[in-house]
Structure 1
Amino acid sequence: MIIGVTGSSGKLGRATVDRLRGEGHEVIGFDLVGPPGAGFTRVDLGDYGQTLDALLGVTARHDGLDALVHLAAIPVNGLVPDAATFHTNVTATFNVLHAAHRVGIDNVVFASSITAMGFPFDEAPPALPVDESYTSANNTYGLGKVAEEAIVGQLARWGRTSYTALRFTNVVAENEYDTFARAAEPGYRRDLIGSWVDARDGALAVSLALAKPRPGFRVYNVAAPTSGTADPSRIVAERWFPGTPIADDLGEYESLMSTRKIQAELGFAAEHDWR
C-alpha cells in the first residue's frame, strides 16, 4: 500500500515508518520536521488547506494514499500551556481525519492514549485490568483524546471507512530500557498502572490494524502484555488500588492495562520485553 504517516519523525512515528517500509509498503511521512527525500513532506497539520492538499497528492511524492496513520501530536501535557495542548492536538486530528474523509481514504489508524482511560489514575478504575470500555480524562491531553475518539465515532457513521483508535501507553525506545532498573520500586510507573510498550511493538499494532480493516470505529489498548513492574501484577494492583475488583484469571505479570482485546481480535503478540 501507499501509506501516509503523520508525526513520522516522532519516537513512535519513526518505528512505524521503519516497520511499514520493511513490510514492503511505500510510506510518505508528514510532519513539521523530517529527513529530506522522496519519503517525507513538511506539512503544518494545523492548517486545513495544507492538510487536505497533502492527502490529495504531493508532486514528486504521491498522487493518492491507500491508508493513513495519524500519530502527530504534542505528546504530553507541560510542553506548552494546557489549553494549547488541547487546541493544537484536537485541531490537527480534526483536520487530518476530516480531510481523509473528503479525500476518500477508507483505512485510517490513529493514536489515542492511556490518558483517555484514567491516567494518572488518582482515582481507582472500576476493575483491573483496565479495558477499552473505561473512558476518563484527567488533563487536557486526555480530554483531547476523548474528544478525538468522540469525533471519529461520529465520522464513522458517514461512510464505510475503517477507523482504528490505538490507546498507546508510555512508548519506550529500544535505547531507553535503563529505566527498568527501577522496576522493583513500589511506586514505579504508578501513574501508568505499570504499563509500557516498546516503540517497535507499537508499530506492530499499527501494522496489524492496517492489515485488518473493518468499516466503523473500534478502539484497542496498546501496551506490552506484561507489566513494567518487578512484582507480580496482583500484588501491585492490591497495593495501588485496594478494594478494586481484580480479574480472577489475571496473569502473574499481566499488564494492568488490558491487551486482551487486541490480542484476540488483531493477533497482537509483543516481540520485546524488558525482562
Structure 2
Amino acid sequence: MRIAVTGSSGKLGRATIERLTADGHSVLGLDLNPAPHGGLFTRVDFTDYGQTLDTLLGVTARHSGLDAVVHLAAIPVNGLVPDATTFHNNMTVSFNVLFAAHRAGIRRIVSASSITAMGFPFEEPPPALPVDESYTAANNTYGLTKVLEETLAGQLVRWDPELSITALRFTNIVAPEDYGTFARAGEPTYRRDLLGSYIDARDGGLAVALALANGKPGLEVYNIAAPESGNSIPSAELAERWFPGTPVADDLGEFESLMSTRKAQQQLGFRAEHAWRDEYRPEG
C-alpha cells in the first residue's frame, strides 16, 4: 500500500514507518520536522487545512495518490503548552487530517487515540477491571480531544459506507532506551495512573500494521498495550490496592495488564513482541 504517516518524527511515528517499510509498503512521512531515520518526507503544517488536503491529494516527487493514512500527529501530552492550546491544536489537526482524507477518497485510516480517552489518570475508579474499550471518559484537555476525535470518526464513517477508521488507544509508549524506569516495577504506586500498562514503540508500529491490514468499513476502537503489566506485583493485588471494591474479571491473569488488550488480541491478532522483563537491564 501507499501510506502516509502524520507525526512521522515522533517516537511512535518512527517505529511505525520502520515497521511499514519492512513490511514492503511505500511510506511517506509527514510532519513539521523530518525524522532522523530518513526516508521519503514532506513538511506539512496540519493546522492549515489547505496544506493538509493538498498533501493527501498528491505531492510532486512523493505520491500521486494514497491508499491509507496513519494519523499520529499531535501535541503528545498535557503540560507542554497551555491547556487550551493543546485542545485547539490537536482538535484542528485531527479534523483537518480525517476530513481531508475523506475528501481525497482515502478509505483506510488508522488514528492514534489514547488511554486518556478511557479515564486516565483514573482518579475515579473505572467500572470494572481490566478496563476495556466500552469505557470512555476524559479527565484532561488532551483526553477530551481523543474522545472527540473518536466521535468525529464515528460520524465520518456514517457518511461513507466504505470508509474504515481504526482508533488505537495507545498507552504510555516506551522506546528501547526507556526501560531503565522499570527498576521501579516492584513499587506499589509505579504506573498506577496507567493501570500498570505500557507499550514498546516497536509493538505500537506492529499494532498499526495489523490495523491497516484488518481494517473493515466503519469505526473500531482497540486498546493497545503490552498484554502483561509493567509491574512485578500481581495484578489482582494491584487492583484491590488501587481501586478497592471495583469488580475484577474472574479470569484475570496473574500479571495481566489492567488495560484490557483482549479485543486487539482476538480481532487483530495483536501479540506484543517486547516485554519489560526481557528488555530491562539492571545497572551494574
1:213 aligned residue: 215
8 Å CA contact retained: 1:162, 1:216: yes
8 Å CA contact retained: 2:173, 2:198: yes
8 Å CA contact retained: 1:38, 1:61: no
Letter in 2 for 1:187: T
Give every structure 1 segment of 4 or more consecutive aligned residues whose post-TM-superposition deviation is greater than 3 Å: 35-38
Aligned mates of 1:229, 1:54 — CA distance in 2: 43
1:188 aligned residue: 190
Aligned mates of 2:39, 2:102 — CA distance in 1: 25
Letter in 1 for 2:143: G
Aligned mates of 1:166, 1:214 — CA distance in 2: 14
Letter in 2 for 1:138: N
Q: Is 2:116 aligned against 1:96?
A: no
Deviation of 1:38 after TM superposition, in Å, equals 5.9
Letter in 2 for 1:116: A
2:8 aligned residue: 8
8 Å CA contact retained: 2:78, 2:142: yes
Deviations 1:228-266 (A, max 9, x none): 111010001110000000000000110000000000000
Deviation of 1:175 after TM superposition, in Å, equals 1.0
Deviations 1:5-61 (A, max 9, x none): 000000000000000000110100000000596610000000000000000000000
Letter in 2 for 1:136: A
2:239 aligned residue: 237
8 Å CA contact retained: 2:13, 2:72: yes
Deviations 1:136-175 (A, max 9, x none): 0000000010011111100010111110000000000011
8 Å CA contact retained: 2:14, 2:35: no
1:224 aligned residue: 226
Give the match's secondary structure for 2:177.
coil
Give the match's secondary structure for 1:8.
coil
Q: What are the residue-to-residue correspondences of 1:116-127 with 2, within 5 Å?
A: 116-127=117-128
Q: Which moved more, 1:29-38 or 1:68-77?
A: 29-38
1:17 aligned residue: 17
Letter in 1 for 2:45: D
1:60 aligned residue: 61
2:206 aligned residue: 204
1:33 aligned residue: 33
* TM-score, normalising length: structure 1: 0.99
Give the match's secondary structure for 2:111.
strand
Aligned mates of 1:21, 1:175 — CA distance in 2: 22
Give the match's secondary structure for 2:139.
coil
Deviation of 1:213 after TM superposition, in Å, equals 1.6
Aligned residues: 275
Aligned mates of 2:69, 2:35 — CA distance in 1: 19
Q: What are the residue-to-residue correspondences of 1:120-139 with 2, within 5 Å?
A: 120-139=121-140
8 Å CA contact retained: 2:8, 2:35: no
Structure 1 residues 35 and 263, CA gap change in structure 2 (3 angstroms): closer
Q: Is 2:255 aligned against 1:256?
A: no
Deviations 1:66-87 (A, max 9, x none): 1100000000000000011010
Give the match's secondary structure for 2:276.
coil
Letter in 1 for 2:181: T
Letter in 2 for 1:16: T
Gaps of 5+ in 2: 278-284
Structure 1 residues 35 and 173, CA gap change in structure 2 (3 angstroms): closer
Structure 1 residues 185 and 35, CA gap change in structure 2 (3 angstroms): closer
RMSD: 0.9
8 Å CA contact retained: 1:66, 1:106: yes
Percent identity over the alignment? 72
* TM-score, normalising length: structure 2: 0.96
1:165 aligned residue: 167
